[in-house]
A = this chain, B = another copy of it.
Amino acid sequence: MSRFERHFFVCQQQRPPMAKPSCGARGSAELYGLLEEGLAAHPELWGRVQLTACGCLGPCFDGPSLVVYPEGVWYAGVKAEDIREIVESHMLGGRPVERLRYQWPQ
Protein backbone atom coordinates (compact mmCIF):
# COMPACT_ATOMS: atom_id res chain seq x y z
CA MET A 1 0.00 0.00 0.00
CA SER A 2 1.01 3.56 -0.54
CA ARG A 3 2.57 5.50 2.30
CA PHE A 4 -0.03 8.26 2.06
CA GLU A 5 -3.78 8.20 1.65
CA ARG A 6 -3.56 11.11 -0.72
CA HIS A 7 -0.75 12.98 -2.45
CA PHE A 8 -1.19 16.47 -3.92
CA PHE A 9 1.24 17.68 -6.60
CA VAL A 10 1.21 21.37 -7.55
CA CYS A 11 2.94 22.53 -10.72
CA GLN A 12 5.53 25.24 -10.09
CA GLN A 13 6.83 25.54 -13.64
CA GLN A 14 7.98 29.07 -14.32
CA ARG A 15 8.35 30.55 -17.79
CA PRO A 16 9.31 34.09 -18.73
CA PRO A 17 6.82 36.66 -20.05
CA MET A 18 6.06 36.16 -23.76
CA ALA A 19 6.74 32.42 -23.49
CA LYS A 20 4.08 29.73 -23.31
CA PRO A 21 1.88 30.22 -20.23
CA SER A 22 3.15 28.63 -17.05
CA CYS A 23 1.55 27.75 -13.73
CA GLY A 24 4.30 29.65 -11.92
CA ALA A 25 3.53 32.83 -13.83
CA ARG A 26 -0.13 32.32 -12.93
CA GLY A 27 0.38 32.21 -9.19
CA SER A 28 1.00 28.55 -8.43
CA ALA A 29 3.52 29.37 -5.68
CA GLU A 30 0.73 31.10 -3.78
CA LEU A 31 -1.54 28.08 -4.33
CA TYR A 32 1.14 25.79 -2.96
CA GLY A 33 1.55 28.03 0.08
CA LEU A 34 -2.17 28.07 0.73
CA LEU A 35 -2.40 24.29 0.46
CA GLU A 36 0.54 24.02 2.85
CA GLU A 37 -1.27 26.29 5.31
CA GLY A 38 -4.44 24.23 4.91
CA LEU A 39 -2.54 21.06 5.68
CA ALA A 40 -0.70 22.68 8.57
CA ALA A 41 -4.02 23.71 10.09
CA HIS A 42 -5.22 20.10 10.26
CA PRO A 43 -2.86 17.94 12.32
CA GLU A 44 -5.15 14.96 11.77
CA LEU A 45 -3.93 14.94 8.15
CA TRP A 46 -0.21 14.99 8.93
CA GLY A 47 1.39 11.77 7.76
CA ARG A 48 -1.76 10.88 5.82
CA VAL A 49 -1.76 13.61 3.17
CA GLN A 50 1.37 14.67 1.32
CA LEU A 51 1.94 17.88 -0.64
CA THR A 52 4.74 18.20 -3.22
CA ALA A 53 5.76 20.90 -5.67
CA CYS A 54 6.39 19.60 -9.16
CA GLY A 55 7.51 20.51 -12.65
CA CYS A 56 5.36 20.85 -15.73
CA LEU A 57 2.25 18.66 -15.63
CA GLY A 58 1.17 19.34 -19.19
CA PRO A 59 -1.95 21.53 -19.43
CA CYS A 60 0.09 24.77 -19.57
CA PHE A 61 -2.60 26.80 -21.33
CA ASP A 62 -5.18 25.93 -18.68
CA GLY A 63 -3.13 26.18 -15.48
CA PRO A 64 -2.40 26.52 -12.68
CA SER A 65 -2.56 22.72 -12.54
CA LEU A 66 -2.69 20.22 -9.72
CA VAL A 67 -3.00 16.46 -9.68
CA VAL A 68 -4.06 14.33 -6.74
CA TYR A 69 -3.21 10.65 -6.38
CA PRO A 70 -4.04 7.82 -6.02
CA GLU A 71 -7.38 8.89 -7.46
CA GLY A 72 -5.79 10.75 -10.37
CA VAL A 73 -7.96 13.82 -10.07
CA TRP A 74 -6.68 16.77 -12.11
CA TYR A 75 -7.49 20.39 -11.40
CA ALA A 76 -6.75 23.35 -13.65
CA GLY A 77 -7.43 27.06 -13.63
CA VAL A 78 -7.29 27.01 -9.85
CA LYS A 79 -7.38 30.36 -8.07
CA ALA A 80 -6.31 31.30 -4.57
CA GLU A 81 -9.94 31.61 -3.51
CA ASP A 82 -10.57 27.98 -4.55
CA ILE A 83 -8.02 26.51 -2.16
CA ARG A 84 -10.19 26.57 0.93
CA GLU A 85 -12.76 24.42 -0.89
CA ILE A 86 -10.08 22.01 -2.11
CA VAL A 87 -8.71 21.68 1.42
CA GLU A 88 -12.09 21.16 3.05
CA SER A 89 -13.72 18.98 0.40
CA HIS A 90 -10.85 16.98 -1.07
CA MET A 91 -7.98 17.06 1.40
CA LEU A 92 -10.15 16.64 4.48
CA GLY A 93 -13.28 15.01 3.10
CA GLY A 94 -11.90 12.95 0.23
CA ARG A 95 -14.43 14.50 -2.16
CA PRO A 96 -12.94 16.11 -5.28
CA VAL A 97 -14.21 19.59 -6.14
CA GLU A 98 -16.10 18.75 -9.31
CA ARG A 99 -16.38 22.31 -10.62
CA LEU A 100 -12.59 22.66 -10.69
CA ARG A 101 -11.75 19.31 -12.30
CA TYR A 102 -9.76 19.49 -15.47
CA GLN A 103 -11.27 17.90 -18.53
CA TRP A 104 -8.43 16.60 -20.66
CA PRO A 105 -8.99 16.98 -24.40
CA GLN A 106 -10.03 13.63 -25.82
Residues of A within 8 A of B (CB): 1-4, 7, 9, 12, 50, 52-58, 67, 69-74, 104
Given the known interface contacts A53-B55, A55-B53, A56-B52, the answer about A72 and B9 at a Cβ–Cβ threshold of 8 Å is no
Q: If A7-B67, A9-B9, A67-B7 touch, does A1 touch B72 (CB 8 Å cutoff)? A: yes
Name A11's closest neighbour in chain B (CB-CB).
Answer: B52
* This chain: copies in complex: 2
The CA of A4 and the CA of B67, in the complex, are separated in Å by: 11
Name the one of B2, B52, B71, B74 contacting A9, with C-beta atoms under 8 angstroms.
Answer: B52
Q: Name the residue among A7, A50, A52, A53 with the largest chain B CB count within 10 angstroms.
A: A52
B52 and A57 form a contact (CB under 8 A): yes
Cα separation A55 to B3 with both chains bound (whole Å): 17
Q: Which residues of B contact A3 (CB under 8 A)?
A: 72, 74, 104
